[in-house]
Amino acid sequence: MLNIPVLRAHIREKGSRLRWFKALPCSCYNPANNTFDRACTLCDFGRVYREQKLASEVRVLIGSLTRHYEHPEFGLIEAGQLTVTAMPDEVWLGDLDKVVLLDHRLLMRERVIRGTGNTDTLAQPYPVSVRVVADDVMTYKAGTDYQFTGGAIKWLAGGNAPSANDTYAVEYLYQGVFWFISRQEERVPRPIPYSSDLTPQRGILVNHYPGPS
């Protein structure tokens, strides 16, 4: 018999903090044929996202899932993905909801084109720290040439910097954004002495902003 209090305590101890953005259908979305207006500036693939307030103690359990696919040139390749387990009375995720994992870091190496101002915004929406800023000529120094602030590279007066429209590279760590996909067909029915609404929810997290790393 599944012991819900024990499972909840385990998720609290071993789980990860998160931000949860609920996916709501945009007015441009047509459920009859599952289409949306690609020119719509209000939504993301036919969904409008609203962040849900979570209690500070709420966690979800993150695991790994290995999938294989056949590459036409390299043969069989392993592709990693994440699984998530949540308590539905705390976080009841729906398909295509977005999850930001606050305790997980991903590596990004990004090609940036210097703008005409003193600030260049990075592509990932939740960057945490910058490791390297460099171009073909030099490696720039944090605090002297640039400052990482507000998810962007801010070039400092008096320091070295690329010229406007020049290309440079930034290596940084960021908090990943994932789409939730339910795995209800894989839920194993187990008797629990509580409401069925407390049956643990399981699904897959798919990277929403994939990039080279």
Domain ranges of the chain: 4-103+176-207, 106-174
Count the residues in the chain: 213
pLDDT of residue 212: 44
- Cα–Cα distance, 39 to 164 (Å, whole number): 30
Q: What is the identity of the amino acid at 184?
A: Q
Contact yes or no for 156/147 (Cβ under 8 A): yes
Nearest to 20 by CA among 102, 97, 124: 97
Chain centroid to Cα 180, Å, comes to 10
Q: What is the pLDDT of residue 183?
A: 74
What does the pLDDT profile of the chain (213 residues) look like in tens digits? 678 899 999 999 999 999 999 999 999 999 999 999 999 999 999 999 999 999 999 999 999 866 655 556 656 555 567 899 999 999 999 999 999 999 999 999 999 999 999 999 999 999 999 999 999 999 999 999 999 999 999 999 999 999 999 999 999 999 999 999 987 544 445 555 555 567 889 999 988 765 543
pLDDT at residue 96, rounded to an integer? 94
Hey, what are 181's tokens?
A: 């996909």
Longest dimension (CA), the chain: 67
Task: State residue 2's pLDDT score.
Answer: 77
pLDDT number for residue 81:
79
pTM of the complete model = 0.81
The 3-class secondary structure across 87-142, one letter per residue, is CCCCCCCCCCCEEEECCCCEEEEEEEECCCCCEEECCCCCEEEEEEEECCCCECCE
CA–CA distance, 10 with 7 (Å, rounded to integer): 5
CATH architecture of the domain covering 4-103+176-207 = Beta Barrel (2.40)
Tokens coding 4:
């819900």
